[in-house]
Structure 1
């Protein structure tokens, strides 16, 4: 049976959109949709049967109620779905797979403590065999304890399991910015909640000498559709003075996620500071203010550094000494001669964005790290008023 790539992709996207509408995280929905579509391809005998299976899946599952978001202090809703055959971890039962990371697996579980205010929890179970730098579970727990804040996901407890597995316990929050962006359902009120939550968290973290190092939409969760917003996933964060953090002048450059990685680490700069987070946060805001919520830069399907550099240069323009005076100090600067790309106008880079939004993004997504706004300055920028 010969099904074209474009038809398969179309069906995967259709199933992904449907799963997102049912409350699934966008990245999880895409992975599930790919598995579902692949199974249909295997069992179908004809292309018509394959297409019918894909169409029927979306139609039949329309009746499933949208799961209710679980807040920090709410009891489990009746439609919260658990795997009742799932294992019990500590005092949490029915551990149900939620998502996979490079060094951990997240489960949704139910608290067995009848007096607990939170009934539905997220259990981040570390995998010691995958715990390679910059990932460090114990450092993550220490940073979360140190960085407690209204906009940092609260670490409720941690405990050890067999095999050296550390388990971090958080409130289970279903909604994230990634899902709101990809389903084009982000409202102005939510934008303000996310903006204030993200930069409030960063201002707090940076005051403690903590660099998050993985700012992206899927790491910003909302307690409910009305907020508040929380910054999550401190697995690769760096903290000044922490025994498991690298030397300040020799930090790892293999941090961040594809399109949100700033140019200085792509050229080997290891003495970076909190401005690294501000570049990534500016990229997030760029997605929030454009019409189609598309990513600002593209690292390609394989997440190539060269592809990302080309995307940055062809968007912002190949940097000159005036644009990026510190670049010549970086170890890998000058090893490759780049085509001289002209800078695109910001109105073209951010279609539909206001002058205020363009000003904000241009002052965070800029080559020279010392010219980027700080998180404290970001909170005072007039862009926040546009989200009101």
Structure 2
């Protein structure tokens, strides 16, 4: 085939199960990350129907279709649940001379109006205790479902938790997800531990564990749950050793006494761990959380030893969800907010509003971060703000 024939062949090639992306009209960019870009779009045939289109990054197209995207698609096709994003289809652009005969592929999802990081960064969005319970209950339901299907999410964070305007929560971004298996006849899993955004990364991954499972997602769920009150990620380390220090200052020193077997993890003796720290999860979070059963559940999720950390089933059975106020519908509260809120769209903090941020950085060693949200109308979740600020009400 000469070049002309090749180009003609590519241009006229028909993908029978993959519609053209031109059936959708892009309206706005709503996300950007290592995974690529996400757009809000409407279906041209039925303009009232909105979707989210996630561009598949084809950086290394010599290798063909990216293996990570194939894994994500395979997992999303398997998972069908109210609390997991719904993949509608994969669509593509036409290969033409204009795009150097390179097709772009998009994953097309049902559109969700908000992500949790966007909602929490807006001081005008106020969750009642019953509404917080509903958010966390749905989050744990989603995790229970994916773990029952032997899938690990591996990137739990507030920005990956979507919420529709009718108040339905969806776990999103399965770009780092993978299937897991129980270790059989002494064969140990060797998964990569370079997963999960640093602030939400559990201690076993930071210590180099490669034979991990669902508890890695439950640690993230605990961090997200605390954030429902603090309005900002609770442990904001800049490096892995610093993240471990923040974890130790909140959850107590990492020792074989509290975590049998930890000494066998690859980095246990290579990283200098803080000694002599007492566990202060309840004590530190009580000023924000106030509800005793919420503090107790947080205490059971943020457990150093993954074997002792609550799983989603135990968490869903915790008194927190079965005492007044009961988990309640979010749609009434969300109806007051007609503009979509996504972490990507939250305005950055303006220079004049950085004072608390700097104050926080100077006191970074204290571990629990709380938003300086009162500073601006809408803020990015801010850096760690500490003990002196604990009487602030959010």
Helix, strand or coil: the match of 1:359? helix
Aligned equivalents of 2:273 and 2:240: distance in 1? 14
- Cross-structure match for 2:311: 374
Conserved? CA contact 2:25–2:42, under 8 Å: yes
- Cross-structure match for 2:113: 174
Q: Map 1:339-378 to 2 at 5 A.
A: 339-350=274-285, 351-353=287-289, 354-378=291-315
Query: Aligned residues, how many?
Result: 287
Q: Map 1:5-24 to 2 at 5 A.
A: none
- Cross-structure match for 2:216: 276
Aligned equivalents of 2:72 and 2:28: distance in 1? 23
Q: Map 1:64-143 to 2 at 5 A.
A: 89-114=21-46, 119-129=49-59, 136-143=68-75
- Cross-structure match for 1:190: 131
- Cross-structure match for 1:44: none
Name the Cα RMSD after superposition.
2.4
Aligned equivalents of 1:369 and 1:135: distance in 2? 29
- Cross-structure match for 1:159: 91
What stretches of structure 2 of length at least 5 have no aligned partner?
A: 1-19, 96-101, 182-186, 327-394
Q: CA deviation at 1:295?
A: 2.2
Listed one character per residue, the Cα deviations across residues 308-357 of structure 1 (whole Å, up to 9, x for unaligned) are 11111122221221211121121111113323242253343202322211
- Cross-structure match for 1:28: none
Aligned equivalents of 1:325 and 1:237: distance in 2? 28
Q: In the superposition, relative to structure 1, how do residues 257 and 160 fare at CA in structure 2: closer, same or farther (>3 Å)?
A: same
Helix, strand or coil: the match of 1:352? helix
Q: CA deviation at 1:258?
A: 1.6
Listed one character per residue, the Cα deviations across residues 348-379 of structure 1 (whole Å, up to 9, x for unaligned) are 32023222112111111111111111111111
What stretches of structure 1 of length at least 5 have no aligned partner?
A: 1-87, 242-246
The yes-or-no answer on 1:237 pairing with 2:173 is no
Q: CA deviation at 1:248?
A: 6.8
**Larger RCO (alpha carbons 8 Å, 6+ apart):** 2
Listed one character per residue, the Cα deviations across residues 154-201 of structure 1 (whole Å, up to 9, x for unaligned) are 111112345353311012222121122222424134323311211111
The yes-or-no answer on 1:332 pairing with 2:267 is yes
Aligned equivalents of 2:111 and 2:310: distance in 1? 32
The yes-or-no answer on 1:220 pairing with 2:161 is yes
Helix, strand or coil: the match of 1:361? helix
Conserved? CA contact 2:21–2:92, under 8 Å: no
Aligned structure 1 segments of 4 or more residues deviating by more than 4 angstroms = none
